[in-house]
Every structure is written in C-alpha cells, then in structure tokens.
C-alpha cells in the first residue's frame, strides 16, 4: 500500500511512461487498483495500438469502441464472413445488421483512426455523408473484397478527398468508378499519396485525365493498377511522364505497349523519382522490351531499389548489361527478372551481385549459374590435368629413349676415344691451330696422344698457384714418323 501511494506521488508523465511498458492485459488490471491508476491507465495514448478483436460479437465491439480510452485508436479491421471472398449480401446481413453498422460508423466519427480495413461489409444502408466523413478522417483506407457500396457513396467519398485532405492512402477492389465525374476522380486520385486499385472499372477518358494530371503535378507517390484493360490505349508520352513522377509503381495484368515501355525506360534513364517498379504481366511476341537498347534499359533499372519483371522477355545482351551494372554501381536491393536465361558473365560479376541482392527466386537462379560455372571450371581443370598427365607420360617415354640414345652415343664416343687415345690430347689442345698445316702435309704419319698432366709436374703446379694464367690440365703430344 505504501509503495502504491509513493508511486501515485510521481509526476503524471513518469507514471504514464511506466505504464507504456505494460501489456494491455496488465494495463487493464492496473486500472482496477485505484482511481488515480484508472485515470492514468485509461489515457488514450496508451491504448492507441490496441488490437480490437470482437468481430464475432458486434455489440461488444460497439461498446468497446465507445470507451474513452480508444479515442485515439490507430487501427481497426472490420471484417465479417471469414476468408470467403464470394459471400453474398444475404449472408453479410446475418453477421452484422444495418443498425449495428450504422452505430459502428457513428462511433468511428469520434475516433482518430489512421488505418481502417473493411471486408465483407455492406455499407449501402449508410448515408453517403457519414461514410465519407469516417473514411476521409482516416489516413489509410482499405476496401478488401466484397465491400458493398453504392454510387452516391463513391461519388461523395471521392468528392471530399480533395476537400478534407486527411486521407492519404486508398485501396479498393471491384469498385465501379465509371459513375464518377472525370475531373472529380482525377483530382481525388492525384490528391492521395497511395492509390491501389484491383479489378475496378474505369472509362478510358477517366484514365487519360488521371495520368495527364499525374504527368503535370501530383501528390501521388505509390500507384498499384491491377486491371486487364485500359493503359495500352493511353499516350506513351503522357504515361511515361506520369509514371516517372511516382516513387513506387505496380502494374499487374494491364499490359503496356512496346512504345509505352520504350518511353518509360528512356525517361527513367535520364530523370525519374521512381525507386520501385513491378511490371507483372505476360509478354507477347514480338517481345515488348526488344526495341530498348541494352545500355538504356540497364541504366534505368540500376537507378532503382526494387525491380520486378518476372514475365517480360529480356535478351542476353540486355541481361548482361543489367547484371554488370548491378555488380559495379547500382541501387538495386531486390531484383526479380523471372526465368530469363543468365548469359555468360564473369564469376566476379555474379559474386558481387550476390552480395548486393536480397534473397528471392531470381537470386537462387543466379546461384545456379554460379554452380554451373564452378562445375564447368572443375571439368575444364580435370581435362587440363588429364592432358598434362598424358603429356608427362609421353615426355617420360621420350626421356627414356633419349637416355638410351645418349648412353649409346657415350659408348660409341668412349670406344672411339679408347681407340684413338693419342688423338684425344691433340683435339683438346689449345695449340691445335699450330698443327693444322702439319696435319695437311703429313696426314698418314701423324699420331696424337692426349693425357692429363701429373700433379707432380712443374707445369701443373705453376698453373695451380698462378693467379694470372690458368693453363689447361690436359696435354697433347704429336709424333710424326717417316714411312720409309
């Protein structure tokens, strides 16, 4: 009790800071200790990260949201019907009634939400002003699958986006924007920071107006456009300028033409705000990137942090320039070029790339290429070693043959020298030139003898002691006899 009273005497900001370290279950118990702890423990700042999970009991959810402690609640997920994507409106009404959904939205007006996700909820019973007020006072709004909303509500929400200005991010699925005025839709989309649309319906003139304004001036940083049709009919100049004014871009299924892609990457190679691109749509023949010079494609992609082009065909020369650019100087951390063939690049280039990239399937593809190079190198070294061993065996045989020939030659020389011992001395003598004339005149009467000087001879001792003249240790004697 004394420790409680001492704790209560601490400054309010210290007590609140201590309570921040408590789990929500412990914090709830603390509020039951005393009125002082209740006042501190129910501070909305302490409960802003609380995860509300009373979806099975809507009345309990409503009573929870009405508590003052959740006035600054940041995140709320309104989801009914589990993970079934195709739940009917009739089944939706069995999970939550029109009165309950209205009470929830009336309560949300007083909550400073930052993230609101709605899934499997029918909003058509609500007045457009209430829906727009709640959504446009929330920073990040996400409509997942099977959200029922009528045309008037859509028009009111989009009309108020640029007026109230608090909504920063909007994600929608299966929404019909064709009922919205073109200027209103264009102004609303370009007023957001993030706009993600999946399988929604647009008129071509609406898309044209959106991207024309995006090319001129926009607050939009992140765009995800996942539709089957619409973009190919737009001007290449407009769409390339608009895309390069963004920071993150995701295009799924809605194909871009070869002319549009050329313009996008050409502008990107010079000046662009883009840091991440995801072009997730299938290629067609002739390949859409084929006309882009490899140096332009490599320069544009290596200026990004994330590149995902899993289904677009990339030529060997384009791939080689891209990979060499990644190895030398690149901002890329995440690279996915699908199953495109890895060309023959140096092992050092591939090693540098492995250090730079985050793990994904394409990185494993590169690792396979490295292993392939290692296998080829090992096979080449084995072949080279085998050739060297074969050559060494051949050289050994030749050496043995040469040794035999050398031995035979030495034997012949020994026999010749043995038969002409006197000739040896004469051949090795330094005075051979003197006797050449004698040889010519007395060929048949000349007898030569070669012998080694004796260590006891005065000539040998003189040559051994002399520092100036070194005389030969071999002597030659020549005898000439008469034939008569």
* Residue 246 reports pLDDT greater than 90: yes
**Residue of higher predicted confidence among 411 and 236:** 236
pLDDT, position 323: 95
The predicted model gives 354-376 an average pLDDT of 93
- pLDDT tens-digit map of 111-158: 999 999 999 999 999 999 999 999 999 999 999 888 999 999 999 999
pLDDT, position 440: 54
What SS3 state is found at 22? coil
pLDDT, position 183: 95
Q: Do 160 and 192 form a contact (C-beta atoms < 8 A)?
A: no
* Residue 86 reports pLDDT greater than 70: no
Tokens 């940083």 found at: 221
CA distance 18 to 41: 10
The predicted model gives 442-458 an average pLDDT of 53
CA distance 347 to 43: 60
Query: pTM above the 0.85 mark?
Result: no
- Residue 3 burial by Cβ neighbours in a 10 Å radius (0-12, 13-18, 19+): exposed
CA distance 465 to 458: 11
- pLDDT tens-digit map of 183-225: 999 999 999 999 999 999 999 999 999 999 999 999 999 999 9
Tokens linked to 240: 């390339």
pLDDT, position 14: 87
The predicted model gives 6-28 an average pLDDT of 84
* Residue 360 reports pLDDT greater than 50: yes
Phi and psi dihedrals of 43, rounded to 5? -60, 125
78 backbone φψ class: left, alpha, beta (φ>0; ψ -120 to 50):
beta
- List of residues 6+ apart from 218 with CB closer than 8 A: 190, 242, 245, 246
Short-list 210, 197, 200, 136, CA closest to 168: 136
SS (H, E, C) 97-165: CHHHHHHHHHHHCCCCCCEEEEECEECCCCCHHHHHHHHCCCCEEEECCCEECCHHHHHHHHHHHHHHC
pLDDT, position 252: 92
Short-list 353, 289, 341, CA closest to 316: 341
Q: How far is CA 171 from CA 4, 125, 145, 247, in A?
A: 48, 21, 11, 17
Phi and psi dihedrals of 12, rounded to 5? -60, -40
């Amino acid at each position: 009790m004394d420790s409680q009273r001492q704790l209560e005497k601490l400054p309010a900001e210290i007590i609140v800071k201590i309570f921040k370290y408590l789990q929500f279950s412990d914090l709830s118990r603390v509020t039951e200790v005393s009125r002082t702890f209740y006042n501190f423990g129910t501070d909305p700042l302490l409960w802003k990260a609380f995860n509300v999970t009373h979806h099975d009991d809507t009345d309990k959810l409503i009573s929870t949201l009405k508590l003052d402690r959740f006035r600054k609640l940041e995140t709320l997920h309104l989801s009914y019907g589990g993970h079934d994507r195709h739940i009917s409106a009739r089944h939706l009404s069995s999970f939550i009634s029109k009165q309950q959904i209205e009470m929830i939205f009336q309560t949300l007006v007083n909550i400073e939400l930052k993230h609101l996700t709605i899934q499997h909820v029918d909003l058509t019973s609500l007045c457009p002003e209430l829906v727009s007020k709640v959504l446009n006072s929330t920073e990040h709004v996400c409509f997942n699958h099977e959200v029922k909303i009528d045309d008037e509500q859509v028009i009111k929400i989009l009309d108020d986006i640029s007026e109230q200005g608090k909504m920063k991010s909007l994600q929608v699925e299966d929404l019909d924007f064709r009922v919205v005025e073109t200027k209103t839709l264009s102004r609303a989309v370009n007023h957001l920071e993030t706009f993600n649309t999946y399988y929604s319906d647009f008129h071509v003139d609406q898309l044209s107006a959106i991207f024309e304004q995006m090319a001129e001036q926009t607050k939009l940083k992140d765009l995800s456009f996942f539709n089957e049709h619409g973009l190919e009919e737009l001007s290449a100049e407009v769409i390339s300028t608009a895309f390069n004014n963004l920071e993150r871009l995701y295009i799924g299924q809605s194909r871009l033409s070869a002319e549009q892609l050329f313009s996008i990457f050409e502008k990107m190679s010079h000046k662009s705000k883009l840091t991440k691109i995801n072009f997730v749509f299938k290629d067609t023949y002739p390949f859409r990137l084929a006309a882009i010079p490899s140096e332009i494609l490599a320069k544009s992609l290596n200026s990004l942090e994330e590149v995902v082009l899993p289904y677009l065909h990339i030529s060997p020369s384009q791939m080689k320039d891209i990979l060499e650019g990644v190895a030398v100087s690149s901002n890329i951390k995440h690279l996915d070029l699908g199953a495109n063939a890895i060309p023959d690049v140096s092992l050092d280039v591939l090693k540098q790339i492995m250090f730079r990239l985050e793990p994904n399937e394409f990185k494993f593809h590169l690792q396979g290429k490295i292993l392939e190079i290692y296998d080829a190198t090992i096979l080449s070294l084995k072949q080279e070693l085998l050739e060297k061993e074969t050559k060494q065996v051949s050289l050994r045989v030749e050496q043995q043959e040469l040794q035999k020939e050398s031995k035979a030659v030495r034997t012949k020389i020994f026999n010749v020298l043995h038969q002409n011992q006197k000739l040896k001395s004469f051949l090795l003598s330094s005075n051979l030139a003197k006797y050449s004339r004698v040889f010519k005149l007395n060929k048949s009467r000349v007898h030569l003898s070669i012998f080694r000087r004796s260590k006891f001879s005065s000539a040998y001792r003189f040559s051994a002691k002399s520092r100036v003249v070194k005389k030969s240790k071999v002597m030659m004697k020549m005898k000439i006899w008469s034939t008569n």
